[in-house]
Amino acid sequence: MDAFQRIKNFVIQQRWEFKEELTENTDLRRDLQLWGDDAFEFLVSFSREFNVDISDFVFSKYFPPEGDRLVPKLLGFIGLNTEPEYHSLTLGDLLSAIVNGKLR
């Protein structure tokens, strides 16, 4: 089984099966709805499963913290954008991390 198929199987095992096809462009936060503790636990499990070093990964650049996600959306709706921009982290990035042995 190739590495990307292993990632897809891991995602399904950790999260659930999705109606949308899992591709290298599938974004963990936007498409898989991962943030806060769930995202952290997912990446720690990923690290262990695929022997990937995540010690230098800056979690806060990619995922919002646990907590109320409704208030920032409401503030954004009335023109007060208080939610920071987050970088994208895709299944393709996880595939690269497996190849490189490190997620940055």
Q: What is the predicted pLDDT for the residue at 85?
A: 84
Q: What is the predicted pLDDT for the residue at 64?
A: 86
Q: What is the predicted pLDDT for the residue at 65?
A: 80
Q: What is the predicted pLDDT for the residue at 72?
A: 59
Walk along the chain (104 residues) in steps of 10 and give the mean pLDDT of each run: 95 84 95 93 97 96 75 61 82 98 94
Torsion over CA: 39, 42, 46, 52 (sign)? positive
Task: Tell me how far apart the alpha carbons of residues 39 and 63 are, in angstroms, rounded to a whole number.
Answer: 7
Q: What is the predicted pLDDT for the residue at 76?
A: 63
SS (H, E, C) 21-64: CCCCCCECCCCCCCCHHHHHHHHHHHHHHHCCECCCCCHHHCCC
Backbone phi, psi, residue 80, to 5°: -110, 85
Query: In sequence order, which residues have a C-beta less than 8 Å from that of residue 22 and are 6 or more positions away?
Result: 7, 8, 11, 12, 91
8 A C-beta contact, residue 3 and residue 87: no
Q: What is the predicted pLDDT for the residue at 52?
A: 98
Report DSSP state, residue 65.
Answer: P
Amino acid 67 reads: G
